[in-house]
Amino acid sequence: MKEYEGSWTEDQRGLYDESYEIGYAWAEDPDTSIDETREVLSLAEADDDELGGLDLEYPPLVDAVAQATGENVMSVPARRDHPAFRGFVDGARDATAGNLPDF
């Protein structure tokens, strides 16, 4: 389920929406490995303390943000209040809800 920050502008909500759709489609893609999906899902479940404000260079996330913003992006801040990060991981989480096998 989409979840906006109350303080986000319309542009930030739009970035979240685009990133969400890309994350959702990425997670549903049969070429996306279960291990990659699990890695993103662990980011989706982490809180800001666990994320530590790192800049992630994870290719699917960086590519999604570059596509959503139309800008060349080298990394993405791992923060729950960053609309592109949050949109991508929320979309991936929602696409896979209950659909990943346990290993």
Beta bridge partners of 55: 77
Query: What's the pLDDT band for 103 if we cut at 50, 70, 90?
Result: very low
Q: What is the DSSP string of 33-88?
A: -HHHHHHHHHHHH--HHHHTTPEE--HHHHHHHHHHHTS--S-EE--TT-HHHHHH
Residue 87 has pLDDT above 90, yes or no: yes
Q: Choose the weakest-confidence range: 6-10, 46-50, 81-85, 99-103.
A: 99-103
Q: How many angstroms separate the CA atoms of 95 and 66, rounded?
A: 21
Residues 35-62 have a mean pLDDT of 85
Domain boundaries defined on the chain? 10-96
Q: Is 15 helix (H, G, I), strand (E, B) or coil?
A: helix
pLDDT of residue 99: 67
Q: How many angstroms separate the CA atoms of 82 and 96, rounded?
A: 21
Q: How many angstroms separate the CA atoms of 38 and 21, rounded?
A: 18
